[in-house]
Structure 1
Amino acid sequence: MTLILFNKPYGVLCQFTDRTTTGARPTLSAYVDTPGVYPAGRLDLDSEGLLLLTDDGALQARIADPRYKLPKVYLAQVEGEVAAAGVEALRHGVRLKDGMTRPAGVERIADPDLWPRDPPVRFRKTVPDCWLKLTLHEGRNRQVRRMTAAVGHPTLRLVRWSVGGWTLDGIAPGESRLAPSTPDQARSRSPAHR
């Protein structure tokens, strides 16, 4: 069994081929050359961070299926200063078009020690931003972005830091490494707590 931890850069498709008519977008094939592995879950084109790839179907299902409740930790740079009421709303669940989200772990954090994004996040002198660390146990489409927007703070940058006990710790954007097959073997700290 193979399990790969990959730090997906911004703008890379979470698949091995671009099925659009132009086929011009970067894909996993530019970074991962291990045959027979497939993503366990997804990460949007405009999101960065941890993507797990495996050749084991049962492990892939255990990682991706919300029934197994593997926590996923995201670091989100959001527009504006999120007040305590916004943090509490995110913690208790917010109403999205597809229903209420489950309660989530949410805290404001100092700017994490991350790599620069390419292209950089647009900076505006008149609009502050802040960082949130969110721990989710479900995986709806574009969930973090929709949650922060629902409390009035659109996401500017989104990095998935960990899935279960597997983390990005020590993996640069576009790089990967083989990992232990169980998250218990892979515990590490998030950059918010260094």
Structure 2
Amino acid sequence: MAPSYSKYDVRRRLPNPSAAALLVIDMQNYFSSIASPILPSLNSTVSISRSASIPVIFTRHRHLSPSDNPTLSEWWSGDLIFDGTPESELLPDLNRSPSDRIVEKNTYSAFRGTGLEETLRGMGVEEVIVTGVMTNLCCETTARDAFVRGFRVFFSTDATATGSVQLHEAAIMNLAYGFAYLVDCERLQKGIGLKGRG
């Protein structure tokens, strides 16, 4: 059965390797039950991106104290990811390179208060490919924020995940309707993977 967002997947485009960056959102131990099932697709996406010389940037969600984001602390009843704990660390099986940047954040958007936009602009990046967890929270918010800031957005359907299929597909439906081109490993491999070797 086709996913519920299929009818909105009407705008087709592939990233331009010379203008794109891959964002890997919050693939941390705290989210391991959600993140582990997509690890093969995510690591493949990272490999495809590297083959096309697309820079890879990881984000890590962590809090120094409940007061650094009182709204989030209230919303999640204080269940936060604190810096320095094993839960805050990136999954050990991620396809990471020592040279990859890690952006530290304490809210849903990877752009808010992190300097990410300035970093991307300084690298000549005009497009972002969003992967990671959770589809409907940090990934979706980062994708929307990127779009509003003028970046062309590509959103992975098989290298993102959240707590339920319903939430995952609802987020992708909204993004496909108004914010992002949808991609998956197969589309990227056929498109930018070939360009990267050309």
TM-score by length of 1: 0.28
Report which of the two has the higher share of helix: 2
More strand by share: 1
